Every structure is written in C-alpha cells, then in structure tokens.
Chains A and B, each alone.
Chain A
Amino acid sequence: MNKLLSTVAILIALSATAHAAHPGGTIYAGVNGLVCDFCARALEKTFGKEEAVEFINVDLDEKIITIHLNEGQSLDNKTVLQLITDAGYDVRDIRYGE
C-alpha cells in the first residue's frame, strides 16, 4: 500500500514539474461551486492579479475555467489549486494544454 502511495506521489510530482516546463500554454481547471456570474467574476479577478495569466474564460455549463498564460510564463498545479481555493471554490481536476 505504502509503495503504491509513493509511486502515485512521485508521478504527481513529476507531472507538476513537466507542466511548469511548458510555458505560454493553456490550463483547464474543473471547478466545483461554479454556479453563477459572481463565482465566475471572483475567479476572473483572482487570476487577473497573476503576472503569468493573460486572461481566463469561464464555462458555466461545464464548470471549467480555461487559463491562458502569457508567453514565457507558467503556473504549476499547486498555484492553480491555491488560487481557486482562496477564491472560495474547490478544484475537481487540472489539465494542461498547448
């Protein structure tokens, strides 16, 4: 069991490192609690303060935010998770695109 947990932890760590190494891309985050425009605006304002973020799109139907990064900038999993949590919402999943 411990071996399995260690393997998962290492895979997550490697995954986060790889994501941080692909700057200027797009991040997709599934967000729980995203039910209205006030919620969407809260996330837009929160990510808008980040130097790495160019802009975000909010899809209320799918409960997904798309974070567009500035050229040469990156955001790791931990930061994305922290920003969404600080805004008052829960992260369902995080995926990285080109």
Chain B
Amino acid sequence: MRLLLLAIVGFGLMQTSFVIARPVSYPGGWTLMTMNDGDKNSVHVHYSPTAKTSIGYKFEYWPDKELNLHALQINKLLKRWNKTESQANFYIKSGVGVAYSDLGLFDNESGASAFTGIAVDWEDRRRFISYENRFTDIDGIDDFFQQSARVGWAPYQGDYGDLHTWLMLQIEHMPEATDEHTVTPLVRFFKDVHLLEFGVNNHNKVLFNYIFRY
C-alpha cells in the first residue's frame, strides 16, 4: 500500500497541467499542487497571508522544450463575486525566476524568466466554468503563450466532508505547440483537504493533478 502511495505521488511529481481553481487559500493556509499533462510537469507550493494573496515557489519541467523553470510566484485575487448560490473570481498570477534548457543548441543555457496571466472562474455546487492564460518569457531561450478553459458538472451534490465528484472537459490552446489544441475529459475527486484529477487527452496523454491544502 505504501509502495502504491509512493508511486502515485512520484507519478504526480513527474508530470503537469494548466487550469486549476483557487490559486489563493484562506489566511494562514498552505497549498501544495502538482499538475501534470502531456506538455509539462509542475510543483507549486504557496502560502496565503490573506484571502486575496498567495506567494510561493513554482517548478516546471517541459519535456519537449527540455526546459526547467524555477520561480517565485505571486497570485492576487483582484475581485470576488460572492452570491447566495454561486461564486466568481478574477485573479492575476505572475512569477519571476530562472530557467535553463538543453534543447538543440542550448547546452544547459540559463536565462531570467518571467510570466504573467489572468484567471477567471465561476461555480455553484453543480456547475463550474473557468478560463486562464499565461505569457512566459525566458531571456534568450524562449517565449510562449498558452490559454485554457474548463467546464464542469457535478453529478450529485455532497455535504461538507463528503466525497465530491466532478466531470470536466478541459480545452487548451498553445499556438506554438505541435499539438496546438488539446481536449481533455477528466474526473475530479475532492474530499477534505485532498483534490485529485485524472484524465486522458485527445493525444492519448495522461493528465494527473493533485492538490493538498492545509
């Protein structure tokens, strides 16, 4: 059993994804995220001093680009709309750091990196929709744009503490990628402090995301 858990966590740390809700936690809350798909693998650890800001460390590995990125990332909740039956959010997510690549003529070449983008989401207890984008610039190595959207539906409505299940569809667009558009049906399981997502995209690549919030 322990071996299985280690394998799951290890697999999670090896891969990555793009769209995720709630980049800011409650005041004093810590969040660990690993996001994995066919394009990249990432680990993000952040701390939220307030309900409107989180600051943390982000690592990304892009296999096709042979690119490693380390960054200090700040997420800011610019606006939240709290309604009786729903909630909507508007965030800006930015980071600065260093990246290095081994691709082609790059022989472990490194450069300063920066990225920024927006994220918006709306959800009630049965429906979810989100969009986010990001522009990344790595000095002397690469720059690229990516955007992603999601729709989700919960087949049942659980109480606080129950296992919550969501069926989602994620569409990603990365103009410079070989596979410019990616469509990923996925399932999200959410219980207590754990959120797990699993899916397979239209290029037969696996998506695996895990979030632990404490």
- Residues of chain A touching chain B, judged by Cβ–Cβ distance below 8 Å, are 31-33, 35-43, 45-46, 49, 58-61, 63, 86-90, 92
Query: Which 5 A-B residue pairings sit nearest by Cβ, starting from the closest?
Result: A33-B82, A88-B51, A42-B26, A32-B82, A90-B82
B86 within 8 A of A: yes
Cα distance A32–B147 in the bound complex, in angstroms: 30
B170 within 8 A of A: no
- Known contacts A41-B213, A88-B77: does B124 contact A35 (CB below 8 Å)? yes
Counted as pairs of residues, one from A and one from B, with CB atoms less than 8 Å apart, the total is: 71
B87 within 8 A of A: yes
Majority secondary structure of chain A interface residues (helix, strand, loop or mixed): mixed
- Residues of chain B touching chain A, judged by Cβ–Cβ distance below 8 Å, are 22, 24-29, 50-52, 77, 80-87, 123-125, 157, 159-161, 164, 190-193, 213
Majority secondary structure of chain B interface residues (helix, strand, loop or mixed): loop
- Which of chain A's residues has its CB closest to B162's CB? A37
Cα distance A27–B125 in the bound complex, in angstroms: 24
A36 with B82: CB separation less than 8 A: no
Q: How far is the CB of B80 from chain A (nearest CB, A)?
A: 6
- Which of chain A's residues has its CB closest to B88's CB? A33
Q: How far is the CB of B19 from chain A (nearest CB, A)?
A: 16
Q: How far is the CB of B89 from chain A (nearest CB, A)?
A: 9
Cα distance A92–B22 in the bound complex, in angstroms: 22
Q: How far is the CB of B196 from chain A (nearest CB, A)?
A: 13
A45 with B193: CB separation less than 8 A: no
Of the candidates B25, B51, B125, which one forms a contact with A36 in the assembled complex, judged by CB atoms under 8 Å apart?
B125
Across-interface contacts of A46 in B (CB, < 8 A): 26-27
A42 with B25: CB separation less than 8 A: yes
B164 with A45: CB separation less than 8 A: no
Across-interface contacts of B124 in A (CB, < 8 A): 35
- Known contacts A41-B26, A41-B193: does B160 contact A33 (CB below 8 Å)? no
B160 with A88: CB separation less than 8 A: no
